[in-house]
Structure 1
Amino acid sequence: MMGLTSITRDRLGSLLLILPALLTIGFLFLYPLGYSVIWAFHGPDGWTLSHLAKAYDFYSQDVWFTLLIVVAATAVIGLFSIMIGGYLTLGESRWAVGILKWLYRWPLFIPFVVAGQLMRTFLAKNGMMNSLLVSGGVMEPLQAASFLDWRGILITFVWKQTPFVTLLVAGAMAALDRSTIEAARNVGAGRLRILLQIVVPQVMPTLMTGLILSYVVMMSVLSVPMMINAQTPTMLTVDMAWRINSYGDYPVANALGFLSYAMTAVVAWAYLRRGVKEKGAA
C-alpha cells in the first residue's frame, strides 16, 4: 500500500508539473485548430464541402505556389546547412571557420517581418544588391531587375531559416566520433566524400527534424510574402488574411487553413513513420 501510494503521489506530482503546458497547448493550439477544422466544413445547413471547394476554386494556383515555394526553400536550406555544417566540422582554415561561425548565425536574431523589410530594400530594382552590381561593373543600370517576386520569397526564407537548421546540423556533426573521419582521411578520402558518405548519414535524423520544423514555420509566415510579393500567385497566408480582413469570410479562410494543415500533416506523417521504422529496426 505504501508503495502504491508513493507511485500515485509521483504520478500526481508529474501531472501537476506538466499541467500548465497541457493547458497552454489545449487552449492556444488544439482548441483553435479544432474550431478552424470544424468550421471549414460547416455551413448554415450543416456539414458541407462547399467552403473547401470554393477555396480551391479561387486559390488553386496559390495552393501549388505555396507548396512549391516551401518545398524548394526547404531543399535549398538543407543543402546550405550541410555545406556550412560540413565546413565547420571538416574545414582546415581556422580563420575561415571562425568567420563563418560568427557570420551565419545573424539571421537567427532577426524576426520574419524585419527580414521581409530588409529583403524588400535589398532586392528591389534600385536596391542595394543591384546598386552593388552596377557600381562593381558587373552589369549596366538598365539591366537591373526587381527580385520582389517568388525569388524574393525564396531568398528570404532560405536566408532566415538556414542558420537554424545549420545550428542543429553542425552541433550533431561536432558530436560525431572523429575516429571514423580520421580513418577515412588516412585512406585518402576527400572532404566531400567524407561529408556525403560518412557525416551526413549519421546526422540525417537531426537534419530532417530541422527541415521539417523550417517547413512548418515557412508555411505559416505572413509578413514575408505580403511585403515582398505584391502580385499573384501568392502564398496561402496572404489569402487567408485577405478573406478575413476584406470579406469577413471565415469559412473560406478556415478551408485555406485546412489545406495548409494537410500539407504540413503529410510531411509530419512521413517523418514520424520514418522514425518509427528506424526505432523498430534498432
Structure 2
Amino acid sequence: MTRPLPARRSVSASRAGWVGLPLVALPVLLLAWLIIYPILSAVTSTLLVARPDGSSTLSLASYHFFFSDPYSRANLWITLWTTCVCGMLLLVTGLPIALYLRFARGRLSAYVQGLAIFPMFVPSIILSYALIRTIGPNGAVDVLLNAAGLPKLPSPYLTPWGPVIGLVWDNLPLTVLMLTAGLGSIPKSSIEAARDVGASPLRVFRSIILPRMGNSLLVTMSFAILGIFSSFTLPYLLGPASPEMMGPFMQRTFSDMNDPVNALTQAVVTFGFCLVFGIFYVRSIARNRGGS
C-alpha cells in the first residue's frame, strides 16, 4: 500500500507559501507606499475639485481641458510618434545585432558586443552634450562637411528627430541584451536540424527563430516603450520647444506655470498609456509562469 505522497507535498507547499509571505511583505508595502499610493493620490487630485465651502466634487474638467487643448494634444501626439519610431528603429537595429552575437564566434563578435553595450555606461546628460557637439549646428559633422567642400546637412538638433537619435542610442544596449537572452533560449539542435535539411538562413529565421521569439520581442518592446515614453533628459535637451514630449511638458507645467493640477493630469494620462504596455508585459510573464 502506497502512502499519499501528493497530499503531503501539497501541504508542504502550502506551508512554504505561508512562510514566504513575511519575506515579501516589506517589498509589497514599499511598492504600495512609493508607487500605488502616489498613483491613487494623483488620480484623486485630478478628479476632485474644491468648492468655495470647503467640500469637494467629482469633475473631469482637467481631463477635458487636456484633450480639448491643441497644444496638449500635440505634445501627446509627438510623444506617441517618438515612441513608435524609436521602438521600430530599436527592433530593426537591435535584432540583427542580437542574431549576430547569438551565432557568431571569435574576437570580432566580442568587439561588436562591447560597442553595442557601451551606451549603457554613458549618462544621458553626457550623451546629449556629445550629440549636440556632433550633429548640432557647427558640430563635428558640419566641420567635416565644410572641410570636404560639401554643403551642410539639416541638423536634427531641436527637431523631433533629435530625441529619436538620442533615445535609440540610449536604449539600444538593453534591447540587444534582452533579445540575445531570448535567442539563447532557442535550442541549437532545432536550428542545426533545419540547416541539415537544406533550409536557408532566411527560412531558419522565419520558421524556427521568429516563432519562438514572440515573448522576448514583446518584453523587449514593452521595456523600451515604457522607458522612451517617460523619458525626460534627452527630449528636454535635444527636442524642440514646441511641440514637446510629455516629460518636459509636465516639468514645465509644474515649475514654470505653477499649475500642479494640470501637471498631475498630464502624468495620469501618461501613466494610462504606459499601463497598456505594462499589462502586455505582465500578461506575458504570467503566461510563461503558467506554462512552466
TM-score by length of 2: 0.84
Say how many residue pairs are matched: 276
What do residues 52-74 of structure 1 show as CA deviations (whole Å, max 9, x unaligned)? 12223141101111011111111
Question: Equivalent residue for 1:233?
Answer: 243
Identical-pair percentage: 21
SS at match of 1:43: strand
Shift of 1:86: 0.8
Structure with more contact order per residue of length (Cα contacts < 8 Å, sep ≥ 6)? 1
Q: Is the 8 A contact 1:40 1:255 kept in 2?
A: yes
Q: CA deviation at 1:184?
A: 2.2
User: In structure 2, the residue corresponding to 1:105 is in which secondary structure?
Assistant: helix
Post-superposition Cα deviations, 1:242-269, rounded to whole Å, max 9, x if no partner, equal: 1110122111111111111121122233
1:24 aligns with 2:37: no
* Structure of larger gyration radius: 2
Rounded to whole Å, the distance in 2 between the matches of 1:62 and 1:275 is: 32
Q: Write the distance in 2 (CA, Å) between the matches of 1:78 and 1:88.
A: 15
Distance in 2, matches of 1:65 and 1:251, equals 22
CA distance in 2 between counterparts of 1:49 and 1:86 reads 49
Partner residue in 2 for 1:43: 49
Contact 1:41 1:47 in 2 (8 A): yes
Q: Distance in 1 between matches of 2:99 and 2:146?
A: 33
Match of 1:63 among 60, 76, 86: 76
Q: Report if the CA contact (8 A) 1:124-1:147 is conserved.
A: yes
The aligned counterpart of 1:126 is 138
Partner of 1:98: 110
Aligned-pair CA distance for 1:24: 1.8
SS in 1 for 2:45: helix
Change (3 A) 1:27 1:272: closer
Name structure 2 gaps, 5 residues minimum: 1-8, 52-56
Equivalent-residue separation in structure 1 for 2:156 and 2:16 (angstroms)? 58
Asked if 2 retains the 8 angstrom alpha-carbon contact of 1:78 and 1:162, the reply is no
Query: Of residues 168, 182, 186 in structure 1, which corresponds to 2:192?
Result: 182
Q: Distance in 1 between matches of 2:154 and 2:288?
A: 48
User: Does structure 2 conserve the Cα–Cα contact (< 8 Å) formed by 1:82 and 1:200?
Assistant: no
Equivalent positions of 1:100-115 (< 5 A) are 100-115=112-127
1:186-197 equivalences in 2 (<5 Å): 186-197=196-207
Q: TM-score, normalised by structure 1?
A: 0.86
Give the equivalent residue in structure 2 for 1:75.
88
